[in-house]
Structure 1
Amino acid sequence: MKEKQIKQFEEALAQKLYKLDTEKHARAIGEAAYIDEETFISPDFFLYARCLVVVQGKEFYEYVV
């Protein structure tokens, strides 16, 4: 891929992950979900959960959003 295409992919992925970066989504990731401000949630695990949504494809991503 050309550098421009890579940068476009990076921006598109960042936008999709950002759209999933909400408290509502953080509360819906299973046992490691966000509960409140005093309960630890792994930022890495939440990122991985959002990445999983994206790699499942457009239809699943749109359903989750």
Structure 2
Amino acid sequence: MTEDQLSTLIDKLNFIIDKQSRIEARLEKIEGDLGSVIHDIKKIKKRVRKDKDETDELEKKAKE
């Protein structure tokens, strides 16, 4: 392999490594975003259950 070929290969490898690092950073951000979304969904589910319980209680009182 010539010096030019090695240099080109090294440049390509560095490019790939850079791309991989960017992809990993994006994936970490996505993981964080998904964690936030999951947390928000759990809070919403909890609130919906509470609202349903309150509604059921009001309906029960209204029937009495």
TM-score relative to the length of structure 1: 0.36
Structure with max Cα Rg:
2
Relative contact order, CA 8 A, sep 6+: which one is greater? 1
Higher helix residue share: 2
